Structure 1
């Protein structure tokens, strides 16, 4: 490190104090400058905004005026009615007298006819007839209000145009009215003349700057208003500056510093008029704006130089006094540094310097005393360090010491040897240089724990010099001094070989497990207590348990007791006989009981002592089932052939050997010895049929036709039978017939039966004809009886109703006329007569309904059951408004049927539910779809009424059968019988469920509504 004198340091300190002061002053100056720039730009922008507003307001006012002039009634009517030549003079004088004075800045008004584009009338004589059809202001004026910049013999102008529309023909353009304003007039907005003319007393047009300038630039980058610096600049002075380009190219309004059209640096602001292609520019020379700032800057620099000089002189004076005393101390310190601890510094003052000299002398004496102590301590330390180093360097474990930055400060030879380095190569290197990426991340986390004073024993992995890996177990402890982490020391043991062995063992175990998991056999291991210590994946699948749920459990905890006991017994046999054994074991699975062949054997340790039982089980269920199925199939085939009198055969043509099933021998009544060739078969055929059989056989062999023939045979016992023989020829690759297979069936009884059936069919046809005639006569008699029955029913109903009405009428008359003469008992008798008459009338009506239902034609159609139910529920509630019931009717219930008849079904069922819930608190009646049966919708009506006993449910749907007395619930017992008849006539069924005191449910089925 370089040595500097005290004077040098004081000067540096002086500068350190002075420079921030200068920096602050500079920052204040720069801040003021930036603030001034901001205020200036804001002010210029405000001025530009104001002038932009004046121009836009002026243009808007002129456009409105021009639109008013174009719609002037006199001008429009004159254009439509008068002669064109006379119109020009009249309109010119009219505009000059009444219109032009209103627009003080406009010097010319023209009326241009459409579509020829010729001037019809003008406020300047001599312009009439001029062709302006190609001018932009005319073409734009035909379309609507427009403002166009033009250059004519009158100079640069702004033309404001408006179309003149016909009042007689809507939408027709008669012409265009155009007013012209000289562009030089726009300069008055910037000088203030226009505002003064409007009435302002004064106007500061140039602001507070001598170089302040406002001007307009057109789309051709030409100045169109007067310039402060260039005479006659309108449409001559090119202005290709930054704000003009930004406005014309990007329509961006800019503020800032840039060179103006003179090349001078200015600060300015711009406004864009996109419709006209104009740019309004407000500028002030940068030199004028910043002149006060520059003057202030020079004043500031002068003041800084003066203050710096005064402070420097004062500091220099004090330095000379202090340095003289400090030099004496420096000489004394030099002597001490040279080893002369007996030197003493003279004390000349009592101030801080004198006190420093006294302390210096005391320090020298103390150093002299401690020097001797240090010599003694160093001698002892050297001896101790020698012993420690000898121990560390001869250890068979690695020792590694790092500092707080993880830099190696010491390693013993063993540590360097383990990594393949020399000790000198490792010293000073970072611990992280001996780790891979993942090791660096893990070690950084561990070092954080060291910094908290935590000791640890753990495994680690290092990168050797040759790129190999060192796997080690390390015991590490931190160095903590005064609560501050200073590094760590670690003892390291090489476990690379052990790690490789573990890795090889792990890989071997993984391969072994993969093999076992992918075997088609169940594999398991159990300890001597019967607890599972290993199972493969198939074991999990079979038992439908995870390994976590299997390990540590015995068979008694996993399987049914009987099966578990069998498994356990077999395991113990293996341990008892100490050898592999094979067992057939059964185990129930989801698809039935499975059979397994289990090979079990003991597992032994290195001493030959058994520590577990291992088993490999193979599912032989499919094999056993196949064997059983084959056995059953063969038995079934034999039985089927025996029962059906069908046998199968196969003829080997080359060897002339015929295989025949047992049934064939039974059919032909011959033994295997006498019936083993094809010739023996032909000999059994009846002589009259033999030729036909041979011909059919030859045709099948030659033409590949099926062999099928009925023939008579003579059994071995001389009994004649009829058989049906059929077969198929089997050919080799060349097409040669080599074998033939087929069946033979004894059809003797069938042939006899067919003859008998033919005979019976003839007799049956004759009997059917006779019975058809009888049935026809019976139907005619039934139709007559039905008609007579209907007539009788209506007659009985009419004849019964008449006396009932008379009985009811006379009873009412007696109650009205003779009530005073009758006692209470007599009145009660009359009321009973009336009630009986009404009940009889109701019974007759119900019988008539039942009769109607039984004979009415069923007209099928879509029926909205929900709507019917809602209507009936509403009628029931209206009939008894004081009763509160909860009707729950499902929406969208529909069926296919006769709407009149189905209404009677719903009316009867809902009426019953209403009646039988009348004595309930909180009655509830539901009508909904309750499922599907045999392709039909099931509907149900549920109530929480009095219910019924299911033992009597068979009586519910019979006429006149009632489960409750008339006093309890009135009724005739016909309603449910009617429901049953209607539902049955629709092809459905009806039934009921109930429980006394808990309500009832009535179900009925109907065709689906969309069917």
Structure 2
């Protein structure tokens, strides 16, 4: 390739490179500035839209609050939910409620389509639509979060709750707002405060077209009072639009391409997903609901489950920039052609002198050193010609150059000798390093001896531990065992090394059934990676091939991480003596309880006679003392009954006479028995059976003791107006029934959950709420349930409530109808 071609291509390529740099600058840096400007404008629009929506919701609240303050509606609501009123008066009030709202209120508010009055259970007891009476709106709230009835029924005066953009097909095809507020009486209490009525006013409003008008109006109109320059900058964009998306992802206000809200178009763009799933607002470029690239911002209205979207197409946002890039490309192409032409002509002219130098050089290769090149310019080519002439002149001095080369060779020899000397020094350094390594090896040997001594010392300590110690890997292979552990397992220590612990011993529960491997304490440790400790209450024992009788033990198991994964350190403690002491304690409690029942019965009987004045009149102070004596005797008698019950279960002397028990009827009977306590605390005790009846074969007194204790605990530790629910269901495999008792009471502190079934234990918050109590009820419940082969557990969050669950085996015990 000729030089003129190379030079021309070089300058042409340089021009192309500069054009590419310019386009890249416009594409990445200038586009970023454009994007930032559009984002800023969209943020301004978003803030205005959020304010508009908030003002709209406040208007709904004020409107509903005005209706609930109407004296006529107050009187009608009070009559409708008054349990002491006659059915005739209530029916008349229901009719008046409907006609008054239709004629006096809804007539002037076409956005309101339905107004309901809900009782304390969420049932529609009056409505502007007669077919809605009897509807369970509380169930609608639970299943679809359609409104805030649960908040409104306990709210104070002036509190209003709005649930936005809900699709209710049974109420209308359009998305609507549900506004709920509590009703109050027309009269005041003795302190001048408002008296609440156990009823909620629920207003159904269809106003999304008005909201859409408010939100979209500002894109095309800017008033004289609007001082925001950014706000004015976006009003003329044709693709700019604002719309709302509800909690289910449905667009609920019209867009440029979605005008029918009844079609329930679901929007699954990135801003909607981030808001609804993570409550995170988005400001970026993305694909809109049509798959078209847009730039937009979102506002998350988490309280109402809404997303406000402001977006515009990127083609319109970057139209000016794209036109600038196109013009830049055109200009760069024209410049490229001009530069190539100019460079080609200039290089062609300069190459004339260079050709002359080339011609002269060819003669030199043939041995002609007489010709010289004529120098006609002072540029680089002229300098080349001069240099060529000087080269010929210097050929004569070539011999001198050879001599100078010999001198350079001698200098190189001296440099080589110097290098050899340096290599000798390096060899000496390596010898010294070798001696240092030998010293390190000697030190390592001494360290090895010290480690062996330390290992012997550690082995001595392990051998002298009074409890059994076993070290296993993740596959239960025994890696270390001390003499005490070998003694407890009745096996030689050497035979245990490398053996599988699961094959060496069995773990028993209550000295009866063998515990499955999945329920071993070691399995719990491997799953949780936490220390697991058992005690007497777990009633564990072990057997081996040579120890056939169960040995009562307690385990302490800790995770141990090694090169081959997670293993475990197992401490086994012989608790035979502890078990004997516990049995002696239980025997003493049983005997003492039996001995105390007779004098307590006498005290109860005589105190009842004195209180009933069978032996004479009793004065006021005397009656107070007698009631204290009788109450204390009753509490002590109940405590003794619990102690005797636990004692009988632990000793295996409890009598069981299984009979068919219908769980629904049985639970209702116990709930009826506890009705005075429930009513006294204004609680709601609900029995919620499954669709099919369940009958179990179980001792009726035992089952009654369990359910009665759980109901009583829930009543005792649930505050006024609380809810207690009893449910049960048959497992999918049909092997057991799971029965649950749930309350929204004080809950159980996290730190005290592990001791909740221990005898005489009561949580700190339980002691503060109810000082009286023995702490034996749950211990007895656990003993009774495990006695019939069931399991009991609980789930609780302090301050939010507790759910106790237990199982009843179904094999041969139950049948379904």
Shared fold (TM-score, shorter chain, > 0.5): no
Select the structure of larger CA radius of gyration: 1
Alignment TM-score, normalising by the size of structure 2: 0.43
Query: RCO greater where, 1 or 2, for CA within 8 Å and sep 6 or more?
Result: 2
Alignment TM-score, normalising by the size of structure 1: 0.35
